[in-house]
Structures are given as C-alpha cells and as structure tokens.
Structure 1
Amino acid sequence: MGIWLLLLLCAAVRSNAQNDTSARRQNDTLDHQSKRSLININDIFHQAMNSISRNPGDTIDESKLLLAKSEEAYYRYAGRYVRHIIIAQLGFEKKLSDTTSFLVTAGTKIYNHLHVNTRDWVIRDNMFIKEGEEVNPYEIADNERYLRTLDFIQDVRILLKPVKGHRDSVDLIVVSKDLFTITGSIDASGVQNVKATGADANFLGMGQRLQFSTLWAQNRNPAVGFEALYRKQSIARTFINATIAYSQINNGRIDGREQEDAYYFQLDRPLVSPYSHFAGGLLVSHNQSVNVYHKPDSIFYDYAYNIYDGWLGYNIGSKLLPHGQTPISARNRIFIATRYYNIHYEKPPFQIGDSYDPIYNSKKAVLGSVTFFRQDFYKTQYIYGFGTTEDLPYGYSVTGTAGWTKQLNLERPYLGVNANRYIASGAGEFYQFFAQGGGYYNQGASQDAILLLGGSIFSRLFEFDRLKMRQYFRFSYTRMYNRVTNAPLRINNQYGLNDWGPDSVMGDRRINVYTELVLFTNYRVLGFRMAPFVYGNAVMMTPEQQPIGKSDIYTGFGGGIRTNNQNLIFGTVELKAMYFPRTAYGQKEFRVTLNSNIRFRYPSNYVQAPDVVQYNNNNYVF
C-alpha cells in the first residue's frame, strides 16, 4: 500500500512539475528543433550498432549481441570537430538496442505516465565533451560509459553524424533511456518488526535522489524511527556529488551490533576519465549508539564517535589527447593522491577498554599513493545484467601506498601495493588477476601483514536457441602474518563462503575456490526476466598460529533464480537455496535466502582513495 501511495504522490508532483516547466521545455524544443531536424535517430543508431555488434544470430531481445571496444565506433571521426551536442531520450516502450521496436504494455504505459524524464541539462552536466572540441574516440567512449554509471540511467549511446557540407565537423547525439526511478521496499520480520523505504533516484528529473525510511518495532522505544537522505549528482557540472543524511535506524559499525543515531555529509568526485585532472572525496559523520531495545548495560555497547575523512588526487598525463588509433601507450597514466582520516571515539564502549579492536578503537592515518594505470573498456552484455550494456575493462593498475597510522596509542608506518591485470579476449572472455600486499612496521618487525592473491574469469557467452549461458570462476589465497591489531581472516565474505551466517570460522590462512553457472532466459513475468543459476564453493581455513596440516575445509553448494526488470531502478531479486555439508557453531546445514535490490555491477573506477589492504571484503574483484 505504501509504495502505491508514493507512486500517486509522485504522479501529482510530476503533473505540477510539468505545468511549471512546460514553457522551458517548449523553449528547449525550439532551441533544438533545427538541430533535431538534421538527424534521423533510427538510421544513425542502426549504423552505429552494425559497426560495433557481433553474433548476428542472436534471437533473444537484442537483435545483435554487443562485444566491441568502446572507442571502436568513433575512430573514423577522429580529428573532426563537434558542432552541436543533441540530447535524445527514449521512452520505456523502446529498446536502446533497436529504436524501431516497441513493447507497449500496461507497465510501460504506467512508467511513462508517472516518470519525469531526465532534463537535458542534467545530461549536459554529466558531459565532459564540449561543442567545438576535436573528436577524441577514447574520450567520447569514456563519457558514454560514465553516463551509464548514473543510477537513474538504464543505458546510453553516443552517436556521431557527419555534417553535410562540412567535412571537418560532426554532430554528437546522446541517446539515453531512463530507469523508472520511483522505488520502495518493505522488510518485515514477522509482525513485530517492519521497515519500509521509499525513494526517487531522479526526483523531478533533476539528477537528485530523495529517500525516506521508517522502522517500526514492537520492542523498540520509541517504537518508530526514521531516516532521510538527499543526494545531488554533478553539482553545477563539476562532477562533484553531494550527499546529506540523518538516521535514527542506522546499523552500527560494520557488525551492526547496535542501532545508531547518525548524520553525515559527503562529497565525492570520481576520476570520470583518464583525461580528467582531479578526483577526491570528503566525509564528515557523527554516530552514537542508542539503547532502543533495552539491553542490559553489561552487554549494550554505549559509544559515540566522529569520522573525518578526506582525500584528493591529481592525474598526471591527463592532457594527452590521442588522435585516431593512437598507440595504446598514450593512455598510460600516473595518479598521485593523499588521504587523511580520523575516526575518533568520544565515548568508546567500556567492554573494549584499552584493548586493540579493529572496529571500536580510535584511528587516524595519513596515507599517500601513486597509481600507474591504463584502462580501456569493452562493451558487452549478460555479465551481471539481463541484456543491457555493461562495461568491462582491459588493461592494468598498480598502486603503491605508504603512510603513517595510529590506533589507540600505537603509531606505525604502513607500506602496501595493489596490482591488477584485466584481460579481454576477442571471443568474449574476461579475466582479472590481482596481487595485494601490505603491512605495518614496529619495533624492528612487520605487523599485521597481509598477502592476497587471486583472480576471476567470465567465460564467453554460450548460446542455445533462445537461451544464453555464462560460466564464472573465482579463486584467491590470503595469508596473514603477526596479527596485532587487525581482525583475523574470516569466512563469511567473497574471499570465503559468502553465504555463511555467523562468523565462527577464523584463521590466518584462507584458500577459496568458487564457480557459478548462470542461464539467461527469455521468459518474463510482469516484465521481469529470469536467470536460474547453480554454484559450488570451497574454502580451506587454517586456525591462527597452526600449520597448514591443521586446516579445515568448508564447502557450500546451491542454486536459485535471479530476476530483474530492466526498466526499474529496483535491483536484482535473488532466491537462493544453499547446502553446507560441514557446519560450525551457529551455522545451519540448509539455508534459504531471499535478497532484494541487489546491485550487481562490475567495479569500473580508475582509481581509489589511498587505503590499506582490505582482506575481509571485496573492493576490486569481479
């Protein structure tokens, strides 16, 4: 009921917004009428798709399967100049893979009625290509990919059209398709605990997110808590994103042990292209645990802390502008960055006291890093998505990090390295290999040292009539040395058994192997595509300070089905059943989970903030 009320409210707001802005849209139409008359979107689109597509025998939704280098379609226009930038948007009844195809259903009619299209100026605020500039195939491909990362955009194509009578000029057409950005969810644990969330990720089509959540619990005092969030994308065309939020129902530090009152302000600017100069971020947060569930004082973690975290980096070589099929070395970059963070506990939990704890200790650090990278992309499909365009990198990234850290009264220098190699084959296989290592130095010896090695592979896409299948494989090896302040290696993460419940298995050596087979079907239920899958997972954990012969092996097997509606911002829904032949304390042999709003997306950031090696969570792996 709540989500329908939200939809009706947004429809009313949309109607008012359309009336208020109709004059502006008419002016925009007049301003671009002469430009739009120069193009035929369908003709240009089909020419572009023909130049970058493979496997014409594809029989599912897309007329052809994408598998091409992102910059490939723009080589022929290198050296020309951009005369006009024209924005064209598709409705929900059209497919970006074939603009002449229509799918008119009750759902698409509702989406089109309730949805406010992204304003043209919002698209322009996220463009780093400008009119009058020379065509750089790589930079245009970067901009197209960046637009696809916006959480209110389903897919984008940038097309170039030669200008008649001006052989040195082209018009640049941005063809985009929105997601239906009104979303909501209800999470009920019986009748005594209900959480409801409603959001619009593109409120009024202006690249801003509004989100509200409320939690009601019978044993909570007060019974109702709420949180609110506002986020603006690319403020004034700076590519700086701003977020402000307040919550009375925030989960506690990492482990979610306590519920918190929290508020924070965040700025972030990604490195949107190898031709961008700066990237950075800022986070200011205050958090305080609140005993809303009336726990005894002996077990309630009563604490308050502040977070101050800022970083800034500069991209050396960003002014290099290759023309045409320039040698790939022209894309090599060096990125230097520095970071300061301070997690200060005004009131630490008495249960921790002065002992070392990776979560509840005050920490501060000054870190610097140098990253050598070259990263280009293939456009493809059916990796995590259900047919929309996905961008997978090929190239390399090597980062060296050094700095000073303090935890409680322990001050230590830190040194680490993170190397990644990305490979894409012409047959549609994608590989990643990584090596990470780091540690602290104190009293003449290394402490809390980590070695993490591994890789992952996506097989080529196999096609069987109206079905598609892809195999995924991942492996990793993690070793910890001389642990002093850090947490031990855990099993319940993507370097172990990700579906394991309570984390009762720990150690200092971990070996993981995982494989998954996904079948993408053409079946739809109310617009939702179906993808059944099966998987197998095995982990060897060695208890701390024990020889490898004392290791234990844990396995997990299972399968399920994922479903997604490509028009909705609501993420993938996954129903999964698991079997664990060997269990530990608190872990059941069989487990069934239903997870909603899962965000499957390949991480495509060029650079990260300087950081220490993260070995119990996954920031870099497919």
Structure 2
Amino acid sequence: MFRFRTFILILILCLPGGVAAARAASPSARPGMQTPNRFTPDSARIRNPKARNRNNRLYDSIESKTSRRTVPRMLYNLVFVKPVLDTTSNGQFRDESSLLEPFAGKTIGQIAIERQQVFDPGGTWLERAANNTHMLTRDRVIRRDLLFKSGDEFDPQLIVRTKQLIRSRDYISEIDIAVQPDSVDSTRVNLVITTRDSWTISADGSIRSEGRTMVALSDANIFGSGNSLKFLTNFDRRDFSYGGNMVEYKIPNVLGSFYTAEFNAGRDFYSSLLDIGLRKEFLKPTDYEIGLTYNNIKDKRYMIEQDTSLLVKVRNLDAWAGYSRYLRPIKSSAYLTGRYNYSRTTLRPEVGPRYNPALHDQDALLLGLGLYREKFYTANMIYGFGRREYLAAGYKAEAVTGYTWGEFSDAVYLGLSYEAGGFCPIGYIMGGATLGSYIDPADGMWQRSAVDVDLRWFSNLFLLQRSRIRQFISFNYTQGWNRWSGSDESIRFTDTNGLQALNEYAIGTNRMILNSETVLFSPYQPWGFRLAFFGFADFGLLGYDSNIFKNEFFTSFGVGVRLRNERLIFNTIQIRLGIAFGKSGLVDCDYFRISNSTRLEQYRYRPTRPEIVDFK
C-alpha cells in the first residue's frame, strides 16, 4: 500500500502544476472572505471547470489516503504546502477599495474578530507543537488597531488602510475583512475580521571585528499583547569576556491611542545607548501627528574622509507635531508640521567653523507645509514572497523652512521636495526629487547644498511555466555643492544607494547609480519556505567632479537566492555571489555574503516630521 501511495505522489509531481497543487475555496466560506486554502500559480490558468474539479477531487483523494499513516503523511506535507492566498493571479494589482464601494455610506454594525494560529491544525508535528506553544494575539490587540468602530459610516478607503496597518505589525502574517449585509437592516453591514498570527520568538546573532560577538533573543508578541521585547548580550569570542547587555522594548499602540512607545538601553563594549520615544503618525487623510524622543548615544562613527571610525557621544532631544486636513475638491490633504531639535556632542574629534559640521552643537526649528494623497493597492511577490502586500499610490509635495542656531554660526534652511508614484500597464513607477540648502543670513550665500533624485520601477509578473518573474530597476542621483569638510560632507556607496558586490573605498560629492535586478519566484516550497532566485547588474559613478561622467566608474554583477517563510518572523535569508569592476579592472569585491534582511516598508507618501535633506 505504501508503494502505491508513493507512486501516486511521484505521478502528481510529473503533472503540470503538481507540486503546488491547490484546492478551490470552500463553498462554506463567508461572502467576501478570502480563505487561505491550497494554491498553485497555475490555478488561474485552468479555464475548464470540469478539469479544475477533477484536479481538486484527485488532490483531495491523495490527502485522504496519505493521512492514515505517518510516512505517507510526512511525504504529503513535504510536497503539498499551504501558502497564503496569491492575490495577483495574472500579475495585476488589485484595488480592494473599489470592490467595497457598493457598501460605502452604510452603517457599520457588529464587528467580529476571528483569530487563527500560526499554522493550520492539520500540519506537521512541528507546526502543531509551535501552535501549542504560541500564545494567540489577544482580541483587544486586534481591535485597538481598527480605524473605525460600530456605528461609523462605512468607508472603503478606511477599511483598506486598517488592513495595511494591521498587516504591518510583526505579529500578524495575514488579515482579511469580510463585509456581510445585515439580514434585518439593509442600511447596516457587519464585519468579520480574520487574522493569522506570525511566529514571533526569534534568536539572532552577529560576529563583528575585534572579536566582538552578539547573541540575542526576542519576542515580538509578548503574551499575545503585541508588545515586543529583545534582549542582547555581548562578549568577546577570543576570551569570552563580558561586553554588556542591551534591552529593546516597544509598545506599537499604547492603550488604543495609536501612539508608539519605545525604550532602548544598555551598553556594547565601548558603546552605550539610552533611547526613549513616544510618537503618533498620520493615519487618516484628516489627522494629526506628534512625537517626542530623547537619546544619549556613545558609539564609533565612521569618518568618511579619513576612512576610519572614531568614538562620538551625542545627546539629542527631538519634538515635533503636525496637522492634516482633507480637501475634497482636490482629493488631497493639506498639512502643516513643525519640529524642534536640540543636539549636543560631548565626545568628539576636532571640530571647526567649517570642519565636521555634523558634530557641531546645534538647535534647529523647522516648519513644513505641503499637500499629499495616498491610496493603497494589494499585490504580492514584490518584496515578500507570497503574502499580501499593500502598496501606496499617490504624491507628496512639501516645502520646508527653518532656522538653525549653531556652535559657530547661524543659518536659514530652505528645502523643497516632490515625490509621486502609481500603477501603469507595465507595472509600478515612482519618482522623487529633493533640494535643500543652508543660507548664510549675513551674505545670502548658499552652503552645504544637496540634491537627491530617485526613480524606481518594477514590472508586472511574467509567467515562466510555474515560476513567476519580476524585473526591478532603480536610479539614484545625488550631488552636493559648497560642502565643507569632515564628517558627512562627502558621500560613498551605501547599502541603500550602492552596488551590491562592491567593497572598494571611494568617496565624492557627486554620485549616480543604476541598479537592475531580475527575481524569479519559484513554485517549490520545501518545508513551507519560499524560494526566490535573483540576478543583478549595478552601475555607478562617484567623485568630486561636477560632470558626473568624469568621475570614477564601477560595476558589479552577481546571482543569489532568498528564502522566506511567511508565517515566521525570522528575516529573509539571502545568499549572494558577486564580482565588481572599476575602470582599471577588478576591484575590492564582496564575493560571497550571507545576510538577513528585515521586513521592508513599502513606498509611502504620507508626511512625516520636517527633515533636512540627507547627504549620505
């Protein structure tokens, strides 16, 4: 009997779409609910209902027969996985708010919360054990993140914003909101909110220079409260001498007020940190933001022009507030923000009137004024691997002005920025430009000026048999003029704006980068881990010449793989091979690298506290 079942499994592997075979959604699911059943990327291409039903019966039969014995059941769980629902189907983006328009204006009635464990009850013994040890996110934790309540008018945009907010929490892997017309009152609708938890207990570690070693243990959902705690300990791996502890604690929504509280403190060998903050961000078109942070940090700071790191200690107090108002005629929000920053450097290298300005003692008062609009769309297989992702389309136009009282001189600050992005037939395009400068009030001269231009595009999904491919292209141009000397007065290639495999020391005030990456999302999911293979080609120019094309040229190429389990809080594991070249040939390269990347925040167009243009 075992051999017969094994033969059936092998036969299914040979059928088109066999490895990631799917079940159709359960007919008993609530109207409007997206039930995360088994899914295959090919399922949307099966147009014949009879063939689809026949496949479903076959897969159901295999599951039933293999569930009776241990070994066949283990083989079944290895081959057939239960990923989250693919919302792209044919590679297009989805406007969930437009699907909810028929309910707009109705009154919200009952709101029910249905919470699901990290893994399905019928999973492997390891998944069942994980569910038994995981404390489910509490009902009130989900409710406190709702941007609406019973009795409110149903707003499709607010429903989608709520889904985006809850999905951004580390302890939630998926959320859906089903709308059910009230059977008695036609003017009311009831909501059923279904969430699935993430596995939130994680271990981390790093091996750094000078023998420094760090190990950490964290939980992003303590006792189901949504609060996160991380404990880090440091030691010297050469003699196991103690290097200090650090603790990080975060409350993402204090008592349902949408304020985020954070506390970080401790020491790491010669570094020390005290960081306390309380903030609230813009969440609705008409809303307010407010924040207050204090930090006292001692750490080594990289001095780019000397190519060395020196110990610096800084005390910083930051306070800001803002208000936005939705203007219906232009379908945008106008906003006004203000910020005060106090910065004192108590331990630093040499400074002067035009030397190491980033280490000068300074007080700054900034004001921001602008317009913005933001609407969310859903898709997947962009920065995630299969989970639902929320991407914003919209724009933000802002003017920032203010005054700074410096240790050696005062200055007026003026900055302008504009960014916009959205969807088109060939994918998603966004672009932005920022210009900022200090102005000497005595002679009107512009000093420490900077301009930054960013363009990004990614394609729709392309089908290659059962795999899916997406192309990414990004462009960055940064230039500074009338810069001084010392810390932060020159730029280099960074992780954000740089070449992946390049490890060569190069600096300047003028930088241009073109990055291209092709990502293939594999349908194979061993033990629930999704695989994404990628290849990249990067090109960059960097130097001090105002003519960008007269500066040093670098390029890098490589391939790699990323692994991610959407149900786990663990970061994406990336393994990369690469090589880099300059004008004269091979340069210092980062040939091989294993890293883990955190969950990425998607492009946003909402305003934040007024900022001075970065020159990094």
Same fold (TM over 0.5): yes
72 and 610 in structure 1: CA distance in 2 versus 1, 3 angstrom threshold: same
Compare 549-558 and 307-316 and name the one that shifted more.
549-558
3-state SS, counterpart of residue 44 of structure 2? coil
Compare 163-172 and 85-94 and name the one that shifted more.
85-94
How far did 1:173 drift? 1.4
Q: Which residue of 2 aligns with 1:26?
A: none
Q: Which has the larger radius of gyration?
A: 2
How far did 1:464 drift? 2.2
2:298 corresponds to 1:288: yes
- In the alignment, the residues of structure 2 paired with residue 487 and residue 192 of structure 1 have an alpha-carbon distance, to the nearest angstrom, of 31
How many residue pairs end up in the alignment?
538
500 and 598 in structure 1: CA distance in 2 versus 1, 3 angstrom threshold: farther
Q: Which residue of 2 aligns with 1:313?
A: 322
2:386 corresponds to 1:387: yes
2:492 corresponds to 1:466: no
Q: Is the 8 A contact 2:278 2:291 kept in 1?
A: yes
How far did 1:302 drift? 5.1
Q: Which residue of 2 aligns with 1:256?
A: none
Identical pairs, percent: 22
Q: Is the 8 A contact 1:573 1:598 kept in 2?
A: no
363 and 585 in structure 1: CA distance in 2 versus 1, 3 angstrom threshold: farther
- In the alignment, the residues of structure 2 paired with residue 342 and residue 495 of structure 1 have an alpha-carbon distance, to the nearest angstrom, of 29
Q: Aligned-residue CA RMSD in angstroms?
A: 3.0
Q: Which residue of 1 aligns with 2:66?
A: none
Q: Which residue of 2 aligns with 1:445?
A: 445
3-state SS, counterpart of residue 373 of structure 1? strand
2:272 corresponds to 1:271: no
58 and 440 in structure 1: CA distance in 2 versus 1, 3 angstrom threshold: farther
TM-score normalised by the chain length of structure 2: 0.81
470 and 359 in structure 1: CA distance in 2 versus 1, 3 angstrom threshold: same
- In the alignment, the residues of structure 2 paired with residue 358 and residue 493 of structure 1 have an alpha-carbon distance, to the nearest angstrom, of 24
Q: Which residue of 1 aligns with 2:511?
A: 510
Q: Which residue of 2 aligns with 1:12?
A: none
Q: Which amino acid aligns with 1:598?
A: T
- In the alignment, the residues of structure 2 paired with residue 198 and residue 82 of structure 1 have an alpha-carbon distance, to the nearest angstrom, of 41
- In the alignment, the residues of structure 2 paired with residue 571 and residue 203 of structure 1 have an alpha-carbon distance, to the nearest angstrom, of 19
Q: Is the 8 A contact 2:580 2:586 kept in 1?
A: no
Structure 2 matches for 1:235-254, cutoff 5 A? 235-249=254-268
User: Deviations for 1:395-448, whole angstroms, at most 9, x for unmatched residues?
Assistant: 2111111011244312111111110111212x4711101111111111322111
Q: Which residue of 2 aligns with 1:400?
A: 399
Q: Which amino acid aligns with 1:369?
A: G
Structure 2 matches for 1:354-433, cutoff 5 A? 356-425=355-424, 427=425, 429-433=427-431
How far did 1:560 drift? 0.5
Q: Is the 8 A contact 1:448 1:481 kept in 2?
A: yes
How far did 1:527 drift? 2.3
User: Deviations for 1:517-553, whole angstroms, at most 9, x for unmatched residues?
Assistant: 0011122233221101000000112325x65463121
Q: Is the 8 A contact 2:87 2:94 kept in 1?
A: no
Q: Is the 8 A contact 2:572 2:597 kept in 1?
A: yes
Q: Is the 8 A contact 1:118 1:207 kept in 2?
A: yes
- In the alignment, the residues of structure 2 paired with residue 340 and residue 595 of structure 1 have an alpha-carbon distance, to the nearest angstrom, of 37
Q: Which residue of 2 aligns with 1:255?
A: none
3-state SS, counterpart of residue 166 of structure 1? coil
Q: Which residue of 1 aligns with 2:113?
A: 87
- In the alignment, the residues of structure 2 paired with residue 506 and residue 206 of structure 1 have an alpha-carbon distance, to the nearest angstrom, of 46
User: Deviations for 1:309-355, whole angstroms, at most 9, x for unmatched residues?
Assistant: 1111111228x6xxxxxxxx56310111001111212x232444666
538 and 43 in structure 1: CA distance in 2 versus 1, 3 angstrom threshold: same
Q: Is the 8 A contact 1:187 1:194 kept in 2?
A: yes
Ranges in structure 1 where 5+ consecutive residues have no aligned partner: 1-39, 95-101, 251-258, 292-298, 321-328, 617-622
355 and 440 in structure 1: CA distance in 2 versus 1, 3 angstrom threshold: closer
369 and 236 in structure 1: CA distance in 2 versus 1, 3 angstrom threshold: same
192 and 128 in structure 1: CA distance in 2 versus 1, 3 angstrom threshold: same
Q: Is the 8 A contact 1:57 1:64 kept in 2?
A: no
Q: Is the 8 A contact 2:501 2:580 kept in 1?
A: no
- In the alignment, the residues of structure 2 paired with residue 300 and residue 580 of structure 1 have an alpha-carbon distance, to the nearest angstrom, of 25
- In the alignment, the residues of structure 1 paired with residue 312 and residue 493 of structure 2 have an alpha-carbon distance, to the nearest angstrom, of 28
Structure 2 matches for 1:535-550, cutoff 5 A? 535-544=536-545, 547-548=547-548, 550=550
374 and 164 in structure 1: CA distance in 2 versus 1, 3 angstrom threshold: same
User: Deviations for 1:10-47, whole angstroms, at most 9, x for unmatched residues?
Assistant: xxxxxxxxxxxxxxxxxxxxxxxxxxxxxx98223447
Ranges in structure 2 where 5+ consecutive residues have no aligned partner: 1-26, 47-80, 302-307
- In the alignment, the residues of structure 2 paired with residue 576 and residue 188 of structure 1 have an alpha-carbon distance, to the nearest angstrom, of 18
Compare 126-135 and 475-484 and name the one that shifted more.
475-484
Q: Which residue of 2 aligns with 1:534?
A: 535
- In the alignment, the residues of structure 1 paired with residue 297 and residue 587 of structure 2 have an alpha-carbon distance, to the nearest angstrom, of 31
User: Deviations for 1:86-120, whole angstroms, at most 9, x for unmatched residues?
Assistant: 111122334xxxxxxx7612332132112111101
- In the alignment, the residues of structure 1 paired with residue 410 and residue 209 of structure 2 have an alpha-carbon distance, to the nearest angstrom, of 48
- In the alignment, the residues of structure 2 paired with residue 561 and residue 518 of structure 1 have an alpha-carbon distance, to the nearest angstrom, of 9
How far did 1:584 drift? 9.8
77 and 236 in structure 1: CA distance in 2 versus 1, 3 angstrom threshold: same
